[in-house]
């Protein structure tokens, strides 16, 4: 398979599996899901997915794992105190950027 | 709106700068997908040349949450809304669109949904383009590296406030992270693809939480939370 075809198919598949869960229930479901286990599973999945997406990948966003860990910790603390998404993101980016310079200047 | 541009900007930077995808492709992904976590995982897997099956399964699992939102909105939408229109605006049900729509006091209709979706959609595509081309222009390696943490920081900001509210959510997050780290670091096990690592972590931790702490009313809590967030804006 050529690289172009691979990317094209990957995007097509991504679009389809993104569209189906969004559009099908609202288009065809006329009553509510009653089963509490199905409801519970659907309730927990987003948190589990996002958690697995973050860790441990976040530790490898820079070559220096210590800096990445500090960045992750700052994001955790800010989120705990319910700061806005954009604030959490900006402060983390600026901190990591500052630390990268600091570590270089210190020769670590 | 600003939030959408910020998230899609960091997606653009990540897709082009980190995963080596062309700006045009990253824009096409945003046009056709309109979702942050699914796209992020998708481009990472594309850059690792993962199998199409793995990409499809992972992105489907990541987007499973939308079926819950879509289902919840199906109770909210005007009963007379034609299926054709529902199939159209269903494309635009994102986390933020859902939070706003579900907290409307009255029944909502198709016109309302299209109005709600338009700006986020434009912001999403515009932000992606901005980020994609910015990562071509920015030559500062440190800045590009630092921008890489933005999307993860936002993911943290999405789940932590809920985790603070509910011990059950904290539980599922911690179990998922533990399994994810296990699959990442333990020899032999860590040879499986990123997508399968995410799928395994998610399914095991969610099933465990479902059987230990089945919930029936927490879904109403999401609505409450959405309301709070809007009031905070």
CA separation (Å) from B202 to A3, A32, A52, A81, B36?
30, 24, 7, 26, 17
The domain containing residue A59 runs over which residues? 31-106
Q: Is residue A70 part of a domain?
A: yes
Shortest distance, CA B188 to any CA of chain A (angstroms): 17
The answer, for B172 touching chain A at a CB cutoff of 8 Å, is yes
Contact A6 B52 (CB under 8 A): yes
Residue B225: what pLDDT?
55
Q: Is residue A35 part of a domain?
A: yes
Nearest-angstrom CA–CA distance, B149 and A90? 9
Nearest-angstrom CA–CA distance, B172 and A33? 22
Q: Is residue A75 part of a domain?
A: yes
Q: Is residue A24 part of a domain?
A: no
State how many domains chain A has: 1
User: Which of B17, B41, B146, B181 would best serve as a mutation to test chain A binding (most A beta carbons within 10 A)?
Assistant: B146
Shortest distance, CA A4 to any CA of chain B (angstroms): 10
* Bond from prior residue into A56 cis (ω within 30 degrees of 0): yes
Q: Is residue A1 part of a domain?
A: no
Mean pLDDT of A49-55: 90
pLDDT digits over B5-23, tens only?
A: 888 998 999 999 889 899 9
Q: Which residues of chain B have pLDDT under 50?
A: 218, 220, 223, 227, 230-233
Q: Is residue A89 part of a domain?
A: yes
The answer, for B77 touching chain A at a CB cutoff of 8 Å, is yes
> What is the ipTM metric for this complex?
0.90
pLDDT digits over B56-77, tens only?
A: 999 998 898 788 788 878 878 8
């Amino acid at each position: 398979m050529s690289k172009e075809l691979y990317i094209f198919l990957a995007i097509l598949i991504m679009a389809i599996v993104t569209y189906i869960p969004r559009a099908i229930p609202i288009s065809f479901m006329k009553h509510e899901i009653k089963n509490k286990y199905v409801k519970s599973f659907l309730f927990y999945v987003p948190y589990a997915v996002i958690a697995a997406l973050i860790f441990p990948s976040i530790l490898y966003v820079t070559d220096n794992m210590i800096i990445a860990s500090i960045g992750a910790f700052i994001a955790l603390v800010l989120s705990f105190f319910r700061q806005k998404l954009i604030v959490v993101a900006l402060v983390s980016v600026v901190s990591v950027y500052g630390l990268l310079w600091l570590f270089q200047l210190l020769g670590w | 709106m600003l939030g959408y541009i910020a998230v899609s900007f960091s997606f653009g930077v990540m897709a082009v700068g980190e995963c080596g995808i062309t700006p045009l492709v990253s824009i096409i992904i945003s046009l056709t997908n309109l979702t942050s976590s699914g796209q992020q995982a998708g481009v990472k897997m594309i850059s690792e040349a993962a199998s199409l099956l793995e990409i499809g399964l992972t992105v489907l699992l990541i987007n499973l949450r939308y079926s819950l939102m879509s289902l919840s909105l199906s109770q909210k939408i005007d009963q007379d809304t034609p299926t054709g229109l529902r199939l159209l605006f269903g494309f635009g049900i994102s986390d933020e669109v859902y939070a706003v729509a579900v907290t409307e006091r009255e029944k909502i209709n198709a016109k309302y949904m299209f109005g709600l979706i338009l700006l986020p959609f434009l912001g999403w595509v515009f932000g992606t383009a901005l980020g994609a081309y910015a990562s071509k222009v920015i030559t500062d390696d440190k800045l590009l590296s630092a921008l890489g943490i933005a999307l993860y920081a936002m993911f943290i900001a999405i789940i932590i406030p809920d985790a603070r509210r509910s011990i059950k959510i904290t539980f599922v997050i911690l179990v998922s992270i533990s399994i994810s780290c296990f699959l990442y670091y333990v020899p032999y096990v860590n040879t499986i693809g990123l997508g399968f690592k995410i799928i395994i972590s998610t399914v095991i931790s969610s099933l465990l939480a479902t059987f230990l702490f089945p919930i029936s009313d927490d879904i109403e809590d999401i609505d409450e939370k959405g309301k709070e967030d809007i009031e905070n804006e």
